[in-house]
Structure 1
């Protein structure tokens, strides 16, 4: 029987700097504050496990002013728990804690403790992505901005070999957004390039269907969160009438318990789910959403929530274990000037783990 162990944990803030002004319908992003949780144990001398807690401003349940103070209290509680080096037991004990209001912290703890028990080499889960370097297909993300800026991003993504483009819409003039979509379609058929759009809730229940009908002219694969979350009846009606498949994203945040999750899916009947472990509560929560998606015949794919490469690596490994086959939203590792150097690489629209490369952690994590 595996020996029991307790951990020592610390947390440090880190400000990720965008390479450009990243536009969304909720505003422009220039930096992203994230937090790294480090764990160690006498049972694993000389090893450090690292996880990332990265609440999204204005969106995450744990986007609170006293986040660091609350996180430190949670870490003190976790330090009292006796773990065994058994993946499912570790996940089960963390899932049993009352951390629904701190989903990013639970994900970071899952990641850090699993990393520690697997050798402190940023291996989180047994999967082909890490073990064999098997690549995952991803979409090329086009951020909002002036029309010329968006046009340049689209050209870059196509040149880089992406065959699935995701375009954020809802901030600039809708006619201009349609012009950009028309330009892609005039060059590439639906068979050549898949187009996804993400409205981040920018449409209203009154104008959403009209806009979806216009977007349908461009052979759109799907639209994420066309209207604000919480409007379950309106979203259900839209899913029934829409000419474009609808994917739920923000709608899933803060929905806990299998019954509540299933009720939401049965009420709205979406076509796809967008799964972000940082926002949903980590590995166990994300697995359950995938099971419910399969039960209700709903498609899904994984998306990062602007984490550094620490969090992105964990999400990619989770995706690999869940056998996600569609292009995933895991291309955010190239967003920052000061990202954590890692073995994660992107080539021809796919992300893979190159074991020839090493992790180079920020100096603050080596202190």
Structure 2
């Protein structure tokens, strides 16, 4: 297989702010695997500084994966992804790009969609939440008005007066609220706020505390009723058992765990521990968002809106209509390039790559 890649700078519709950072552009990398028959598998890495990755680290990992992939059988996904995990343990987003591209290629070679290759059913009609990032009261209200077609809103919190803002948002929408504190609260603060949120139609709360705060999570669960999900705390399946009695559910992201293979392991691990499951995302194009959407029949909650937050997604994949997700009809991921946005040439393959070492 011939591996090539190119950076993908996704421009956001609004300034995106959470409790720990602000940005206007998301810097991703698209990976392309091409076999001897000319079949191309698409993958994407959406790295985050929180987990120690960026575009340069992703490209370094891709370059260092060239020799392995050159002579590999794409159907041996388990062996390939395990090797990559052992060789590049911190580089989950980079590994996810390869994992997704392999799955896309195999689906195209077999002429079946990804969900069918995974033994799943085509699941239609599940609704994704739509994210409302931190901003001024006025701007957050405006964002909610713009998202009036979405029945579920994910409100980013973890800032001063966040409850006051949430109360104002409730006045202008009847949407279900999910709250993501992105590690921004203290335990006592969380208890107070979660109890207030019961009257505001909040369905669940994500990651109220910094990573590793197991005892604070247990304390909060004893004093509140709203389900608590962990996100940054669970990168892959080995992290889940520690939270079996400290949380109600987990948020799985392909970029956090390394791709589809590990996401499925996380799903079955969580089920064995009676934890609920959300599948989420970073700010991503339709490539990796569609890959995650193929798993939606296995999860309880969906938060796959990363491609809806940008203005220059160069791909067409999963369709979102009033929050409801519909998978594309094609083989593999079913993703196609958008003609109106030019893409870098695929010609030249690995001999055109420049190592960012």
TM-score of the two chains, using structure 2 as the length reference: 0.85
Tell me the CA shift for residue 133 of structure 1.
7.8
Q: Output one character per residue of 1:271-300: Cα deviation in whole Å (capped at 9) or x when no partner.
A: 121111111121122112211221121111
Tell me the CA shift for residue 316 of structure 1.
0.6
1:336 aligns with 2:310: yes
Tell me the CA shift for residue 240 of structure 1.
2.9
Partner SS for 1:23: strand
| Cα RMSD for the two superposed structures | 2.8
Aligned to 1:279: 256
* Pairing of 1:115-194 with structure 2 (within 5 A): 115-119=104-108, 123-126=113-116, 134-158=124-148, 160=149, 162-171=150-159, 173-184=161-172, 188=174, 193-194=175-176
Aligned to 1:295: 272
* Pairing of 1:222-261 with structure 2 (within 5 A): 222-253=204-235, 255=236, 257=238, 260-261=239-240
1:23 aligns with 2:5: no
Aligned to 1:55: 47
8 Å CA contact retained: 2:176, 2:202: yes
- 1:217 & 1:131 partners in 2: Cα distance? 37
1:39 aligns with 2:39: no
Q: Which moved more, 1:172-181 or 1:162-171?
A: 172-181
Structure 2 gaps, min length 5:
348-357
Partner SS for 2:22: strand
Partner SS for 1:226: coil
8 Å CA contact retained: 1:309, 1:333: yes
Q: 1:175 to 1:107 in 2, by over 3 A?
A: closer
Tell me the CA shift for residue 236 of structure 1.
2.4
Tell me the CA shift for residue 365 of structure 1.
4.6
8 Å CA contact retained: 1:39, 1:116: yes
Partner SS for 2:294: helix
8 Å CA contact retained: 1:50, 1:122: no
- 2:8 & 2:58 partners in 1: Cα distance? 13
- 2:100 & 2:230 partners in 1: Cα distance? 25
Q: Output one character per residue of 1:13-47: Cα deviation in whole Å (capped at 9) or x when no partner.
A: 111111211121122220011011111121xx222
1:218 aligns with 2:200: yes
Q: 1:177 to 1:365 in 2, by over 3 A?
A: farther
8 Å CA contact retained: 2:92, 2:258: yes
Structure 1 gaps, min length 5:
1-6
Q: 2:295 aligns with which of 314, 318, 337?
A: 318
> How many equivalent pairs are there?
338
Partner SS for 2:315: coil
1:104 aligns with 2:93: yes
Aligned to 2:5: 11
8 Å CA contact retained: 1:138, 1:330: yes
Tell me the CA shift for residue 79 of structure 1.
2.5
8 Å CA contact retained: 1:100, 1:281: no
- 2:228 & 2:252 partners in 1: Cα distance? 14
TM-score of the two chains, using structure 1 as the length reference: 0.83
Partner SS for 1:137: coil
Tell me the CA shift for residue 76 of structure 1.
2.8
Tell me the CA shift for residue 122 of structure 1.
10
Aligned to 1:4: none
